[in-house]
Amino acid sequence: MISEDRKAGSVGLVEEDLTGEIIGAAMSVHRELGPGLLESAYQVSMCRELTLRGIAFQSQVDIPVEYKGVRLDCGYRIDLLVDNRVVVELKSIERFQPVHEAQLITYLRLSGVHVGLLINFNVPALRRGIVRRIL
């Protein structure tokens, strides 16, 4: 089941349409490739699928940490930043751990983006491998 943190009042989910398109792309990739591949294979496949669907994105986006007024390059990279509105972190793991959600929340905070998806492709049914978070 897709897990979600918070709803945006009566206007519906924040970035609902865009996250729906991203999830649709991920489902297409999962149907084609299935579980069990390395994260890098899903990363490249998601890029291809988003391109085919005409969805704007950036891949492997560096996000610096600011410490006492200085921007530090600490090696943090967002897997996919979709339309500058949704952070997408891709995984191919046995199961989510608290550290994976913490990573997504940290990337949201550092990037200033409010909506994130954590997608684990190493599951039999992809909808069980999707977590949606909102800051």
Per-residue pLDDT, 96:
95
* Tokens 């972190």 belong to residue: 89
Question: According to the model, what pLDDT value does residue 92 have?
Answer: 97
Alpha-carbon separation of residue 83 from 25, 42, 57 (angstroms): 14, 19, 5
pLDDT tens, residue by residue, 87-124: 999 999 999 999 999 999 999 999 999 999 999 999 99
pLDDT digits (tens, 9 = 90+) for 4-45: 444 333 345 678 999 999 999 999 999 999 999 999 999 999
Environment class of residue 108 by beta-carbon count within 10 Å: exposed (0-12), middle (13-18) or buried (19+)?
buried
Q: Running DSSP on this structure, what letter comes out for residue 72?
A: E
pTM: 0.87
Q: Give the pLDDT score at 3.
A: 44
Q: What pLDDT, on the 0 to 100 scale, is given for residue 130?
A: 97
**Model confidence pLDDT, tens digit, residues 30-88:** 999 999 999 999 999 999 999 999 999 999 999 988 889 998 888 899 999 999 999 99
Closest of 1, 20, 11, 33 to residue 88, by C-alpha: 20
Q: Rounded CA gap, 29 and 41, in Å?
A: 10
